[in-house]
Amino acid sequence: MLDADFFRRWMTATAVSVEHEAERLTALDSPIGDADHGSNLERGFRAVTAALEKDGPDTPGAVLTLAGRTLISTVGGASGPLYGTLLRRTGKALGEAAEIDEREFAQALRTGVDAVMQLGGAAPGDKTMIDALLPAVDALGQSFAAARSAAEEGALATTPLQARKGRASYLGERSIGHQDPGATSSAILIAALAETAGE
């Protein structure tokens, strides 16, 4: 079973990874964006860690809802509202249960990913975070490790795609040949999840 502490540890692990990978994320956002993805997420997840410490939410749903709200209010770029919506809607779907099982979490995360697709209008293959998140959710029924592999493969597979959403889409065909920064950070988020689960 997964409790509030598991989700707090997931958010903290994500913050640590984002800090390590911030330069790489910003470098990926340089040729096809505005070179701020790493700093956007670093600021956002630092604020998430601080908010979780300050408020001490005591259910899985409350942890993710607070994390999502914090990202929305601290990250100005496209990724703030999108990741914020992912976590907030996943948290809302978890309700007020003190513990949830893996299957319930997989269902809730799917609700969150659907909300991101609704908000941003991106479909699979549009070269966005969805290309890592959706395969991860599909694989989460098997294991956290399978979700991590699926997200990593999904992020790598964005390289040959032409962007159809977000800033990178302004480049048209020139967006081809670059890995999407948001799909890469989604793979980091899911890797932190697997790490937290000990997989």
Where on the chain is the footprint of ligand ADP (CB under 6 A)? Answer: 29, 33-34, 36-37, 40, 77-79, 82, 120-122, 128-130, 165-167, 180-183
Smallest distance, ligand ADP to C-beta of residue 61, A: 23
Using the minimum distance from each CB to Mg ion, give the nearer residue, 77 or 112: 77
Contact 97, 60 (CB under 8 A): yes
Using the minimum distance from each CB to Mg ion, give the nearer residue, 12 or 30: 30
Cβ-Cβ contacts under 8 Å for 65 (sequence gap 6 or more): 57, 87, 88, 91, 92
Residue whose CB is nearest to ligand ADP in the complex, by number: 182
Smallest distance, ligand ADP to C-beta of residue 48, A: 15
Using the minimum distance from each CB to ligand ADP, give the nearer residue, 61 or 182: 182
Report CA-CA distances (Å) from 185 to 102, 128, 129. Answer: 22, 10, 8
Tell me the DSSP string of 94-129. HTT-SEE-HHHHHHHHHHHHHHHHHHH---TTSSST
Using CB under 5 A, list all residues that contact Mg ion. 29, 33-34, 36-37, 77
